[in-house]
Amino acid sequence: MSTYNFHGNISGPGNYGDNGKIEVHHGQSPADALRLAGELVLRLRTESPALAGEAELLRGELVRADEEGRPADRGRLRQWLELITVGASAGSGSFALAQELGRALGM
């Protein structure tokens, strides 16, 4: 039986080496996701003001992650997107934006 000892950073499947990094944007850039999040905030302020807070938190996480050069917290983003999609009216602009943002983030 053999043992593989590797003491470097491993950050994803097949991503071996020191300080390796894999980023998957599912065809859209982080700037596009941030733009969609901004549009979602504006749309929810008019269509569903009670959900605008979640959209602002989501957008804030994307901005902070970009400023700090780290990946966004996918668990939080997923939670906020789920709250928005459950609360937004089906067929509304906010619902469609939330779905598009989810696809842009790979969720």
Decide if 69 contacts 79 (C-beta within 8 A).
no
| Helix, strand, or coil (residue 77) | helix
pLDDT in single tens digits along all 107 residues of the chain: 555 555 555 555 555 445 555 554 455 677 888 999 999 999 999 998 999 999 999 999 999 998 998 888 999 999 999 999 999 887 788 999 999 999 888 88
d(CA 43, CA 27): 24
